[in-house]
């Protein structure tokens, strides 16, 4: 806790230096929207990034997502993950979340992984015709100036234990909420009510627009459908994979006994989402790997052995994990649960964007 206290003081000092202009922030040259967290771990940010990118592109904006690409092998490299001519499907090069976003959004947006997002934006403006930048995980990345700051707060654990790192999960003190123009309370359906949290957020930041969001399963795909293509020859069929697999049961009376596994920041939320998915799955066992874990063939063999031990007929995982296991060999069915975010006042949210 003494180290947490020191960390919090240093984060406050850093923010004060930016607020007073002593530390400089740089405009990216086009309208910039930042989406980020105040805690470490998963808050459901990636589905919101995809949701916002879709809203903007549908309204004619030419969007570039700038991301650090956490966990990739060479974080200093600049990687164009996706554009009209490029598709990087290797998460070790691009990061698992950028590859997941590329698969979700297709060629409708440019996605660039680069630790220096200011330099990446300058390069991207020369390479592409862009009107809007989205900073993925940008709330603490204050070197990049933004026009709109969107903060995700997880309803199931909003303040990460109430302490900054390393004693808790806060990336900065909760006073940072005052910088947000919009606050999205994610996973609102996993708690009894969010009004208390909404009140607390508005006490910290009375000017913020506060929305509640939930995740919804939109499809369950077979893992084989994630096997990558490196060019554009078959891209249309790759992006437009349709529907829930026909082999899945249609009622809770015939639910599929499964082992679910993932390497995400908040695994229990994924498992809970599966259990509520129309009773189609019976979770016989779960396996958790560290966030951003890169799987090996040995991991797959261990998962299948564990599934056999509990008489599970199939494996289940997330889209973020699927891009990392798609090229490994499975001897039993593996399904990918794909989700989208649903906001409580979508028209108002879109108007603010």
- pLDDT of 279 > 70? The answer is yes
Average pLDDT of the residues of the chain: 90
Q: What is the pLDDT of residue 242?
A: 36
Mean pLDDT for the stretch of residues 75-97 = 90
Q: What is the pLDDT of residue 225?
A: 85
Q: What is the pLDDT of residue 231?
A: 38
Q: What is the pTM of this model?
A: 0.89
Domain ranges of the chain: 218-339
Percent of the chain with pLDDT over 90: 74
- pLDDT of 113 > 60? The answer is yes
Q: Per-residue pLDDT tens for 257-272?
A: 999 999 998 898 899 8
Q: Per-residue pLDDT tens for 297-306?
A: 999 999 999 9
Q: What is the pLDDT of residue 241?
A: 32
Q: What is the pLDDT of residue 307?
A: 97
CATH architecture designation of domain 218-339? 3-Layer(aba) Sandwich (3.40)
Q: Per-residue pLDDT tens for 214-258?
A: 988 888 989 988 875 443 333 332 233 334 444 555 555 568 899
Q: What is the pLDDT of residue 107?
A: 86
Residues 6+ apart with CB under 8 A from 43: 37, 152, 153, 154, 186, 187, 265, 266
d(CA 35, CA 339): 18
Q: Which two tokens stand for residue 307?
A: 């599934």
Mean pLDDT for the stretch of residues 151-159 = 94
d(CA 127, CA 137): 23
Mean pLDDT for the stretch of residues 26-53 = 93
Q: State whether residue 188 is helix, strand or coil.
A: helix
* Run of H or E including 273: helix 267-275
Q: What is the pLDDT of residue 342?
A: 95
């Amino acid at each position: 806790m003494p180290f947490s206290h020191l960390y919090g003081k240093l984060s406050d000092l850093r923010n004060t230096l930016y607020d007073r202009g002593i530390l400089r922030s740089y405009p990216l040259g086009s309208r910039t929207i930042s989406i980020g967290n105040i805690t470490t771990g998963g808050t459901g940010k990636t589905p919101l990034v995809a949701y916002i990118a879709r809203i903007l592109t549908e309204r004619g904006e030419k969007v570039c997502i700038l991301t650090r690409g956490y966990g990739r092998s060479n974080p200093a490299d600049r990687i164009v993950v996706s554009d009209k001519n490029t598709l990087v499907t290797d998460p070790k090069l691009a990061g698992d979340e950028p590859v997941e976003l590329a698969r979700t959004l297709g060629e409708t947006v440019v996605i660039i992984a680069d630790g220096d997002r200011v330099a990446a934006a300058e390069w991207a403006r020369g390479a592409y015709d862009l009107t809007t930048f989205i900073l993925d995980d940008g709330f603490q990345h204050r070197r990049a100036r933004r026009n709109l700051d969107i903060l995700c707060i997880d309803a199931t654990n909003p303040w990460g234990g109430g302490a900054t790192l390393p004693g808790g999960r806060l990336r900065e003190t909760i006073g940072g909420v005052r910088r947000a123009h919009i606050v999205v309370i994610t996973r609102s359906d996993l708690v009894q009510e969010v009004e208390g949290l909404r009140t607390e957020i508005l006490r910290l930041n009375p000017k913020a627009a506060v929305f509640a969001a939930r995740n919804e399963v939109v499809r369950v795909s077979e893992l084989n459908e994630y096997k990558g293509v490196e060019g554009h020859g078959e891209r249309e069929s790759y992006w437009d994979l349709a529907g829930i697999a026909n082999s899945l049961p249609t009622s809770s009376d015939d639910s599929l006994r499964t082992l679910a596994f993932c390497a995400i920041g908040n695994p229990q939320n994924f498992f809970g989402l599966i259990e509520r998915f129309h009773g189609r799955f019976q979770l016989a066992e779960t396996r958790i790997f560290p966030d951003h874990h890169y799987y090996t063939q040995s991991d797959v063999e261990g998962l299948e052995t564990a599934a056999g031990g509990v008489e599970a007929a199939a494996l289940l995982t997330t889209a973020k994990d699927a891009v990392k296991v798609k090229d490994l060999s499975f001897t039993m069915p593996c399904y990918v649960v794909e989700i989208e975010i649903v906001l409580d006042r979508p028209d108002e949210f879109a108007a603010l964007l």
